[in-house]
Structure 1
Amino acid sequence: MLMTHNSWASTPTPATLTPSATPENPYGLGALWAQGDAVAKITLLILVLMSMGSWFVIATKYLEQSKLLKLAAATQASFKQAASVRQAADALDTTSPFRFIAEKGLEGAAQHPGLHDTVDFNAWVVMSLQRAMTTVQSRLQDGLAVLATVGSTAPFVGLFGTVWGIYHALVKIGMSGQASIDKVAGPVGEALIMTAIGLAVAVPAVLGYNWLVRRNKAVMEEINAFGADVHAALLASAKR
């Protein structure tokens, strides 16, 4: 009737108390890369490169636009305090688009004396400034074509991966003769992952494109305002 301490010590530990390792997902990204063929891997790499390219453009264009917006406020203040357009242009950084516009306006004003019989001074200066501002606008749009391309093509690249995964599922069904879930789960999971990745690449590219285009409009408003100030200053100096 008496139980010894050894009998308690020898009581087996219930299996439920033993921690079990979490099973690895056989249909995740790791399995997609390990089990996918060359076509699936190339498709995935293309989507990754598209995503990296779009995020790089978004980051660099945001920093460029932010720099120009800050530079615009400082340029307007220094331009109003300068005694002449030449002095204001010399005070600006050589890489500044505002100095580029001012320099082109001064070049146009300097070239006009040989054209005064055929071209009005006002019209000639306006053309010179407009060409300079158009050049700046073109540079501001650099990189946006990448976002537009990624946003429009990434879903179709993902769709290609989806179709390829469904094709593998059908091949496995045909080879096994039965449509059991264990035969088609891998290829179907691969197809769905490709669809999700395609959308995950395209959506930020489209949103980033629209956002950067709106910010470009704000920058161009500052550029146009500065061009108008240079135009007015050149006309005033010509009258004097």
Structure 2
Amino acid sequence: MTLDTLASTLSFAGDTGRLNPVKLFLDADIVVQAIMIGLILASIWVWTIIVTFMLRMGSVSRRCDDYEDGFWEAENFEAYQKDRRRGDVPMGKVAGAGLIEWRRNAATRSVDHEGARQRIAMAMNAAVGEEADKLAARLNFLATVGSVAPFVGLFGTVWGIMNSFFQIGQQQNSSLAVVAPGISEALFATAIGLFAAIPAVIAYNRFSHRVNMFEGRLQRFADKLHAALTRQLESR
């Protein structure tokens, strides 16, 4: 089905006053059409990120819940880490970083307790930051679309209005019937820009908050593990 056929299909019989988005797109200038296509593709990618992030965040939260419940009940943290094979869980990576550093310090003959505490904390803090960065990797695109898309749509509107005024000069007719269609097509670019930007801004704010909360949860887990590991070092 061609776009012309789709535009005819979407039109209501006998209702010529109703806006037809496909017709507005087809009648627009080539520059405005290119801008509209770019904004539509950006909107599709925004919604792809939204859906995938929600699914990923839900999966990560469930796996971390399961890991943490078993971790604090385990008698031996290293054995639990090895037996459960939880390297793909963010909490497992944080715990793994701390346990590796703890093992290195415990293997020395004379343990520098203060230095060991600092090294274990730094190792787990680095792991916490890495996991938070992985979760937030695609959120920058949402921020970019949210801030840029309205201006891109506005550029398409300005270009379309300029083209409409040019047509007025060519036809030497300033009738509203001549100007209105071109302006409507131009304003449609701004509407698409807002359609892409609004969900991007909302999703970015919401997801950034969730990433920050999750990072705080990892940090609290790291602090508890840090206290447990340093306690074991001091008892040696």
TM-score band, normalised by shorter chain: 0.7 to 0.9
1:104 is displaced (CA, Å) by 0.9
* Aligned twin of 2:189: 194
- The CA RMSD over aligned residues, in Å, is 2.2
1:119 is displaced (CA, Å) by 6.5
1:39 is displaced (CA, Å) by 1.0
Partners of 2:112 and 2:85 lie apart in 1 by: 33
Partners of 1:196 and 1:165 lie apart in 2 by: 13
Aligned partner (choices 12, 27, 39) of residue 47 of structure 1 = 39
State whether structure 2 residue 124 is matched by structure 1 residue 129. Answer: yes
Partners of 1:133 and 1:62 lie apart in 2 by: 20
* Aligned twin of 2:99: 106
Q: 1:87-106 maps to which residues of 2 (within 5 A)?
A: 87-90=79-82, 91-106=84-99
Aligned length: 221
1:45 is displaced (CA, Å) by 0.9
Partners of 1:140 and 1:101 lie apart in 2 by: 14
Identity percentage over the alignment? Answer: 30
* Aligned twin of 2:7: none
1:21 is displaced (CA, Å) by 3.2
Partners of 2:167 and 2:30 lie apart in 1 by: 18
Partners of 2:99 and 2:112 lie apart in 1 by: 19
Partners of 2:21 and 2:177 lie apart in 1 by: 18
Partners of 2:114 and 2:225 lie apart in 1 by: 19
Moved more, 193-202 or 223-232: 223-232
The verdict on how the C-alpha distance between 1:117 and 1:214 changes in structure 2, with shifts beyond 3 A counting, is closer
Partners of 2:206 and 2:185 lie apart in 1 by: 32
Give 3-state SS (helix, strand or coil) of 1:130's partner.
Answer: helix
State whether structure 2 residue 29 is matched by structure 1 residue 34. Answer: no
Measured against aligned partners, the alpha-carbon deviations of 1:40-60 in whole angstroms (never above 9, x if no partner) come to: 221011101110111111111
* Aligned twin of 1:180: 175
Q: 1:1-240 maps to which residues of 2 (within 5 A)?
A: 21-24=13-16, 28-90=20-82, 91-112=84-105, 113=107, 116=111, 120-238=115-233, 239-240=235-236
- Kindly indicate whether the alpha-carbon contact (under 8 Å) linking 1:105 and 1:231 is maintained by their aligned counterparts in 2: yes
- Kindly indicate whether the alpha-carbon contact (under 8 Å) linking 2:64 and 2:89 is maintained by their aligned counterparts in 1: no
**Which runs of 5 or more residues in structure 2 are unaligned?**
1-11
Partners of 2:104 and 2:129 lie apart in 1 by: 20
* Aligned twin of 1:4: none
Larger radius of gyration: 1
Moved more, 130-139 or 203-212: 130-139
